[in-house]
Chains A and B, each alone.
Chain A
Amino acid sequence: MSTDDHNISSLYRETGGPEPPRALDDAILSASRTAVEQRHAAGSPFSGAWPAAASIAAVIVITVLLVPILKQEDSQPPASEPVQRATAPAEPEVAAPPAAGLSSVARKKSSDAAPSASAPSMLLQEGPISAFQTAPTAVSSDSSMELLHDANEMSYFEEEEAPSGPDASEHKRSRMQAADSAPFAINTPEMWEARIKQLIAQGEMEQARAELDRLKEHYPDYSINPSIPEELK
């Protein structure tokens, strides 16, 4: 930079020059403060990303709390459902032999069975196979327990009073179906055999034959006491 350039620079700087108006200064400085304050406000606990995070957390908590409750409610049939199922006309593919009254051991085993989470939905399945499958695991819901109790109390040996007249067979049938759908453990063919013998002793020959057929179907390899078919002839 030459001396002349320095002189020109000095002369220019001596001129000073205009400054921005005070109002403009105030407006700009005010804007600068406002921007910072807004930023601070945006950083408060209830602004910015916090509401979204809190909402997500709330949804998760509610889901975690409600879903098991709803599931449980879904798995519990209405109070009338066991009766409806018991009176349903549909016959199971293979009727399970009733367990109630077979032996005190079996009955105790059934009623003492530990509750299981998988039991309620399986209990609603029709047919003896499911009853066999679910028998060792048992029940968790109140309605299932009620059903179990009902079936346990029901006896094929008619220990309790049964209605007479035209309602009698319907009543018996419903009780039997309730027993069929109950998760009793018909653990052994020997128990089935004992049940058939008891039916024979009661003179329920048709039913005993039916039970025998079912026994053969379920346990084709089991050698049935030859006296039973003899008695049923």
Chain B
Amino acid sequence: MGDEISDESLMQSYSRGDADAFEVLYQRHKGPLYRFVLRQCGRQYAEEIYQDIWLNVINSRLRYKIKATFKTWLYQIARNRLTDHYRRQNVRPVRSNPDSLSSLTEPEQHQPENLLESSRQQEFLMRAIAALPPEQKEAFLLKEEADLSVDEIALTTGVTYEAAKSRLRYAFKKLKAQLETIHEH
């Protein structure tokens, strides 16, 4: 993958008029970004917000400058759009979202026993993620979906490195505690 063109180069190519570069960029980030949005605002708003984020990227292409990674920029846009959504809806970020669990697993009766256990764990994990406080959930999703480092999470969310690290630590701690309850049952 060493020959892979960087996100930043692709975005610059797109800003110079190469539509194919945008398609490559889109295919790379569409899944993680969609899930990042879906797991914070629910299916009801996810598609609209997701589309707005990409339209914002398209419309901002001429102003794009490489100051940080493309991913940091993309998720900053996403985060701003989500914040705007919360403000408009006058709601806090969702803490528990049943939609986020909808596509988790196949029906249990068709799965072998070891898969069944794994599937159960995944279901528990998703419920635990949905129940995380918004800041911790955001930090967790930025790490797991966007594959951002702690530094990049801090930059994207506008907090200090320590705060970002702390949010991540608490998120993992809570998730671990939730998963341990499976074994207790």
Complex Cα distance, B26 from A198, in Å, reads 106
Interface residues of A in 1-19 (CB under 8 A from B): 2, 4-5, 8-9, 11-19
Besides A5-B172, A32-B23, 10 other CB < 8 A contacts? A5-B176, A9-B143, A11-B122, A13-B144, A15-B125, A18-B38, A20-B47, A28-B26, A31-B58, A32-B26
A56 near B: Cβ within 8 Å?
no
User: Which of B1-9, B28-36, B68-76 has 4 or more CB atoms under 8 Å from chain A?
Assistant: B28-36
- Which A residues lie within 8 Å of B58 (CB)? 28, 31-32, 35
The binding surface of chain A is classed by DSSP as helix
Interface size class of B (residues with CB under 8 A): 35 or more
B77 near A: Cβ within 8 Å?
no
B150 smallest CB distance to A (angstroms) = 10
Instruction: Let me know if B50 and A8 touch, CB within 8 A.
Output: no
- Which B residues lie within 8 Å of A68 (CB)? none
- Which B residues lie within 8 Å of A12 (CB)? 122, 125, 129, 144
Instruction: Let me know if A39 and B35 touch, CB within 8 A.
Output: no
B103 near A: Cβ within 8 Å?
yes
- Which B residues lie within 8 Å of A35 (CB)? 58-59, 61
Complex Cα distance, B168 from A4, in Å, reads 13
User: Which of B14-22, B82-90, B152-160 has 4 or more CB atoms under 8 Å from chain A?
Assistant: B14-22
Complex Cα distance, B125 from A17, in Å, reads 13
Complex Cα distance, B30 from A4, in Å, reads 28
Instruction: Let me know if A39 and B144 touch, CB within 8 A.
Output: no
Can you pick out 5 interface pairs between chain A and chain B where the beta carbons lie within 8 Å of each other? Answer: A11-B118, A12-B125, A14-B118, A18-B102, A25-B30
Instruction: Let me know if A24 and B47 touch, CB within 8 A.
Output: yes
Complex Cα distance, B31 from A15, in Å, reads 13
B47 smallest CB distance to A (angstroms) = 6
Instruction: Let me know if B47 and A15 touch, CB within 8 A.
Output: no
- Which A residues lie within 8 Å of B129 (CB)? 12
Complex Cα distance, B18 from A33, in Å, reads 9
Instruction: Let me know if B125 and A29 touch, CB within 8 A.
Output: no
Complex Cα distance, B104 from A5, in Å, reads 20
Please, which residue of chain A has its CB at the minimum distance from the CB of B150?
A1
B51 smallest CB distance to A (angstroms) = 6
B34 smallest CB distance to A (angstroms) = 4
Instruction: Let me know if B176 and A8 touch, CB within 8 A.
Output: yes
Per-residue contact bits, chain A 18-58, to B (CB 8 Å; 1 contact, 0 not)? 11110011011101110111011000000000000000000
Among the listed A2, A11, A18, A39, which residue makes an inter-chain contact with B17, where contact means beta carbons less than 8 Å apart? A39
